[in-house]
Protein backbone atom coordinates (compact mmCIF):
# COMPACT_ATOMS: atom_id res chain seq x y z
CA UNK A 1 0.00 0.00 0.00
CA UNK A 2 2.82 2.38 0.89
CA UNK A 3 4.44 1.98 -2.54
CA UNK A 4 1.15 2.69 -4.29
CA UNK A 5 0.71 5.81 -2.15
CA UNK A 6 3.99 7.15 -3.48
CA UNK A 7 3.10 6.84 -7.17
CA UNK A 8 4.55 9.54 -9.35
CA UNK A 9 2.08 12.42 -9.60
CA UNK A 10 3.09 13.19 -13.20
CA UNK A 11 3.56 16.46 -15.05
CA UNK A 12 0.29 18.32 -14.69
CA UNK A 13 -0.98 21.83 -15.38
CA UNK A 14 1.22 24.29 -13.45
CA UNK A 15 -1.92 26.23 -12.46
CA UNK A 16 -3.12 23.18 -10.54
CA UNK A 17 -0.28 22.93 -8.06
CA UNK A 18 -0.31 21.83 -4.44
CA UNK A 19 2.69 22.68 -2.28
CA UNK A 20 3.74 20.27 0.46
CA UNK A 21 5.88 21.81 3.21
CA UNK A 22 7.56 19.07 5.22
CA UNK A 23 10.59 18.05 7.26
CA UNK A 24 12.01 14.53 7.27
CA UNK A 25 12.32 14.93 11.05
CA UNK A 26 8.52 15.21 11.29
CA UNK A 27 6.63 11.89 11.70
CA UNK A 28 3.31 13.54 10.86
CA UNK A 29 4.87 14.78 7.62
CA UNK A 30 5.77 11.14 6.93
CA UNK A 31 2.15 10.09 7.35
CA UNK A 32 0.95 12.92 5.13
CA UNK A 33 3.54 12.06 2.48
CA UNK A 34 2.20 8.53 2.33
CA UNK A 35 -1.20 9.75 1.13
CA UNK A 36 -0.78 13.12 -0.52
CA UNK A 37 0.73 11.90 -3.84
CA UNK A 38 -2.28 9.67 -4.44
CA UNK A 39 -4.72 12.44 -3.55
CA UNK A 40 -2.96 14.94 -5.83
CA UNK A 41 -2.91 12.49 -8.72
CA UNK A 42 -6.58 11.58 -8.28
CA UNK A 43 -7.60 15.23 -8.63
CA UNK A 44 -5.04 16.19 -11.29
CA UNK A 45 -2.88 18.42 -9.10
CA UNK A 46 0.85 18.84 -9.54
CA UNK A 47 2.56 18.06 -6.23
CA UNK A 48 5.51 20.29 -5.33
CA UNK A 49 7.72 19.26 -2.42
CA UNK A 50 9.00 22.12 -0.21
CA UNK A 51 11.46 20.86 2.43
CA UNK A 52 11.83 23.07 5.50
CA UNK A 53 13.37 23.03 8.99
CA UNK A 54 10.28 22.64 11.17
CA UNK A 55 11.97 23.95 14.32
CA UNK A 56 13.15 27.07 12.51
CA UNK A 57 9.68 27.50 11.02
CA UNK A 58 8.14 27.49 14.49
CA UNK A 59 10.66 29.97 15.88
CA UNK A 60 10.30 32.28 12.88
CA UNK A 61 6.55 32.33 13.49
CA UNK A 62 7.13 33.22 17.16
CA UNK A 63 6.50 29.76 18.62
CA UNK A 64 9.29 29.31 21.17
CA UNK A 65 7.58 26.64 23.25
CA UNK A 66 9.27 23.34 24.13
CA UNK A 67 9.39 20.56 21.57
CA UNK A 68 7.05 17.61 21.93
CA UNK A 69 9.98 15.48 23.05
CA UNK A 70 10.44 17.76 26.07
CA UNK A 71 6.89 17.21 27.37
CA UNK A 72 6.69 13.53 28.52
CA UNK A 73 2.89 13.33 28.78
CA UNK A 74 2.44 14.90 25.36
CA UNK A 75 5.11 12.67 23.84
CA UNK A 76 3.37 9.54 25.15
CA UNK A 77 0.06 10.62 23.61
CA UNK A 78 1.77 11.68 20.40
CA UNK A 79 3.45 8.30 19.93
CA UNK A 80 0.16 6.50 20.44
CA UNK A 81 -1.54 8.82 17.97
CA UNK A 82 1.18 8.12 15.39
CA UNK A 83 0.76 4.37 15.86
CA UNK A 84 -2.99 4.67 15.33
CA UNK A 85 -2.52 6.69 12.16
CA UNK A 86 0.10 4.29 10.79
CA UNK A 87 -2.22 1.35 11.43
CA UNK A 88 -5.15 3.14 9.84
CA UNK A 89 -3.38 3.91 6.56
CA UNK A 90 -1.36 0.68 6.56
CA UNK A 91 2.23 1.91 6.67
CA UNK A 92 5.18 0.85 8.86
CA UNK A 93 6.33 3.12 11.70
CA UNK A 94 9.56 2.95 13.68
CA UNK A 95 11.06 5.89 15.54
CA UNK A 96 14.64 6.66 14.43
CA UNK A 97 17.43 6.99 17.03
CA UNK A 98 18.14 10.59 15.96
CA UNK A 99 16.21 13.42 14.33
CA UNK A 100 18.88 15.44 12.51
CA UNK A 101 17.49 15.37 8.97
CA UNK A 102 18.75 18.55 7.32
CA UNK A 103 20.84 16.69 4.72
CA UNK A 104 17.78 14.70 3.67
CA UNK A 105 15.76 17.91 3.31
CA UNK A 106 18.51 19.39 1.15
CA UNK A 107 18.68 16.21 -0.93
CA UNK A 108 15.05 16.68 -1.94
CA UNK A 109 16.12 19.71 -3.97
CA UNK A 110 18.32 17.51 -6.16
CA UNK A 111 15.53 14.96 -6.55
CA UNK A 112 13.07 17.70 -7.44
CA UNK A 113 15.45 19.09 -10.07
CA UNK A 114 15.64 15.65 -11.65
CA UNK A 115 11.93 14.93 -11.55
CA UNK A 116 12.27 12.22 -8.90
CA UNK A 117 10.94 13.96 -5.81
CA UNK A 118 8.14 11.46 -5.18
CA UNK A 119 10.52 8.52 -5.39
CA UNK A 120 13.14 10.22 -3.25
CA UNK A 121 10.70 11.20 -0.51
CA UNK A 122 9.37 7.64 -0.50
CA UNK A 123 12.85 6.12 -0.14
CA UNK A 124 13.97 8.59 2.53
CA UNK A 125 10.83 8.37 4.64
CA UNK A 126 10.71 4.59 4.37
CA UNK A 127 14.18 4.40 5.88
CA UNK A 128 13.86 7.12 8.52
CA UNK A 129 10.32 6.56 9.82
CA UNK A 130 9.25 3.31 8.19
CA UNK A 131 12.29 1.32 9.31
CA UNK A 132 13.66 3.62 12.00
CA UNK A 133 17.14 3.96 10.54
CA UNK A 134 19.62 6.59 11.70
CA UNK A 135 19.28 9.66 9.42
CA UNK A 136 22.84 10.72 10.27
CA UNK A 137 24.23 7.48 8.81
CA UNK A 138 25.96 8.47 5.55
CA UNK A 139 25.56 4.92 4.25
CA UNK A 140 21.82 5.57 4.02
CA UNK A 141 22.50 8.52 1.73
CA UNK A 142 24.66 6.32 -0.49
CA UNK A 143 21.98 3.66 -0.72
CA UNK A 144 19.25 6.14 -1.59
CA UNK A 145 21.51 7.78 -4.16
CA UNK A 146 21.93 4.42 -5.87
CA UNK A 147 18.21 3.65 -5.58
CA UNK A 148 17.55 6.88 -7.47
CA UNK A 149 19.87 5.72 -10.24
CA UNK A 150 22.58 8.22 -9.34
CA UNK A 151 26.20 7.66 -8.43
CA UNK A 152 26.93 6.20 -5.01
CA UNK A 153 28.33 9.49 -3.69
CA UNK A 154 26.27 11.90 -5.80
CA UNK A 155 23.61 12.63 -3.21
CA UNK A 156 26.16 12.92 -0.40
CA UNK A 157 28.25 15.38 -2.39
CA UNK A 158 25.22 17.50 -3.24
CA UNK A 159 23.94 17.87 0.32
CA UNK A 160 27.40 18.92 1.53
CA UNK A 161 27.84 21.62 -1.11
CA UNK A 162 27.56 25.27 0.03
CA UNK A 163 25.38 26.11 -2.95
CA UNK A 164 22.79 23.47 -2.06
CA UNK A 165 22.73 24.58 1.57
CA UNK A 166 22.25 28.23 0.60
CA UNK A 167 19.46 27.32 -1.79
CA UNK A 168 17.72 25.31 0.93
CA UNK A 169 17.89 28.24 3.32
CA UNK A 170 16.63 30.67 0.67
CA UNK A 171 13.66 28.45 -0.18
CA UNK A 172 12.88 28.03 3.50
CA UNK A 173 12.78 31.81 3.99
CA UNK A 174 10.31 32.10 1.11
CA UNK A 175 8.18 29.41 2.73
CA UNK A 176 8.09 31.29 6.03
CA UNK A 177 7.12 34.47 4.17
CA UNK A 178 4.14 32.55 2.77
CA UNK A 179 2.94 31.88 6.31
CA UNK A 180 4.43 28.41 6.79
CA UNK A 181 4.87 27.90 10.54
CA UNK A 182 5.26 24.14 10.92
CA UNK A 183 4.98 20.79 9.18
CA UNK A 184 3.23 19.21 7.48
CA UNK A 185 1.49 22.06 5.72
CA UNK A 186 -0.36 21.80 2.41
CA UNK A 187 -0.93 24.97 0.42
CA UNK A 188 -2.98 25.56 -2.73
CA UNK A 189 -2.96 29.19 -3.80
CA UNK A 190 -3.97 31.19 -0.73
CA UNK A 191 -5.52 28.17 1.02
CA UNK A 192 -3.46 26.46 3.74
CA UNK A 193 -3.99 23.32 5.82
CA UNK A 194 -1.81 22.23 8.76
CA UNK A 195 -1.44 18.64 9.85
CA UNK A 196 -1.71 15.11 8.56
CA UNK A 197 -5.28 14.96 9.88
CA UNK A 198 -6.35 17.78 7.54
CA UNK A 199 -5.84 15.83 4.31
CA UNK A 200 -9.52 15.00 4.10
CA UNK A 201 -10.22 18.73 3.99
CA UNK A 202 -7.55 19.11 1.30
CA UNK A 203 -9.18 16.43 -0.82
CA UNK A 204 -12.62 17.94 -0.36
CA UNK A 205 -11.28 21.30 -1.56
CA UNK A 206 -9.61 19.69 -4.59
CA UNK A 207 -12.81 17.90 -5.56
CA UNK A 208 -14.66 21.22 -5.63
CA UNK A 209 -12.13 23.14 -7.76
Question: Exposed e or buried b for every residue in 63-79, given b needs 16+ CB within 10 A?
Answer: eeeeeeeeeeeeeeeee
Per the confidence metrics, is the pTM higher than 0.85?
yes
User: Would residue 130 count as lying in a domain?
Assistant: yes
CA torsion through residues 83, 89, 95, 100, sign: negative
The CA-atom distances, in angstroms, between 119 and each of 25, 122, 181, 192 are: 18, 5, 26, 25
For residues 169 and 132, is the Cβ–Cβ distance under 8 A? Answer: no
For residues 144 and 127, is the Cβ–Cβ distance under 8 A? Answer: yes
User: Would residue 5 count as lying in a domain?
Assistant: no
User: Would residue 4 count as lying in a domain?
Assistant: no
- Which residue ranges of the chain lie beneath pLDDT 50? 1-12
How far apart (Å, rounded) are the C-alpha atoms in residues 29 and 20?
A: 9
Instruction: Give me the active site residues, please.
Output: 26
Residue 155: CATH number of its domain: 3.40.30.10
The residue range of the domain holding 174 is 16-207
Q: How many domains does the chain have?
A: 1
User: Would residue 136 count as lying in a domain?
Assistant: yes
User: Would residue 9 count as lying in a domain?
Assistant: no
Report pLDDT digits (tens) over 35-76: 999 999 999 999 999 999 998 888 877 776 666 666 678 778
User: Would residue 160 count as lying in a domain?
Assistant: yes
Amino acid sequence: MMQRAFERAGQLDADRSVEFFFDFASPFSYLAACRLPGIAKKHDYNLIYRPIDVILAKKTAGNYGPSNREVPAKLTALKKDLERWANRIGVPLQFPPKYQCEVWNIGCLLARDRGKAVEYVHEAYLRIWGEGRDPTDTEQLSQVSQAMGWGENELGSFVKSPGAHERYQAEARKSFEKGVFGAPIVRIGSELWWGNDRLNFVEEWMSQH
